[in-house]
Amino acid sequence: MLPPALLAISHGTGSPAGQAAVASLVDAVAARLAGVDVRLGHVDVQQPDIASSLAALPGRGVVLVPLLLSAGYHVHVDLAEAAGGRDDVTVTPALGPDPRLAVVLADRLAALGTDADADAAVVLAVAGSSDERANDDCRAVSALLADRIGRPVTVGFLAAAQPSLNEAVAAAAASGPVVVATYLLAPGYFHDLAVTRSAPHPVARPLLDDAPPADELVDLVVARYRAAATSSS
């Protein structure tokens, strides 16, 4: 009997760098899960979309893993509705919040070098959502990052929620140096916006970029798949 397929669903981006970064994560997951059919689909912007991706996997078990950092509208509505017509599709939780994400965020901050010293205030840049559940997920990750690095972390939203990143950075800068961690999956519009709105303060890389995916990110996607595959077997 074939194991369930893993359908990873990203938000989608028009950024070629972002597309390549997400694809590299899915490739790394496929290399880890020998014998599992691993595919990539998208909520928006790119193809194949969710419906097409599921239609390409008829009559077999599918574990749908959202490559989304928090559980907002896309998880609660878009993915749930797309999977609702098939009893062989299991949708896992979003990637965050999870301590493994805090490990990668801390590593990205450390890579900034001396600018990320213990005297700098840390602001976590997040996309923001009209769904407060997603914003709460981001706040939970900021707490995980604070525990990881041993200093406070404040959150600044790029859209849809308060405080804005501009406001959060300005408030932190009133007391001294600032570094900005980016709770964004890959390069693209929101990361570019985070850099612009944080200037002149240093901004860490997104969770994925042109480097090989961090082991923690691969582990997280694999863990989401295995937990769902085991419970549905």
* N- to C-terminal Cα separation, the chain: 11
Write out the chain's pLDDT in tens, 233 residues: 789 999 999 988 999 999 999 999 999 999 999 999 999 999 988 999 998 999 999 877 999 999 999 877 667 677 777 777 778 899 999 999 999 999 999 999 999 985 556 789 999 999 999 899 999 999 999 999 999 999 999 999 999 899 999 999 999 999 999 999 999 999 999 999 999 999 999 999 999 999 999 999 999 999 999 999 987 65
Please state the domain extents for the chain: 5-96+211-232, 99-198
Domain 5-96+211-232 belongs to what topology? Rossmann fold (3.40.50)
Domains 5-96+211-232 and 99-198 share a fold: yes
CA distance 85 to 100: 32
What b-and-e string marks burial along 36-54, b requiring 16 or more CB atoms within 10 Å of the CB?
bebbbbbbebbeebbeebb
> Check: CATH 3.40.50 for 99-198?
yes
Asked if 124 and 155 touch (Cβ cutoff 8 Å), the reply is: yes
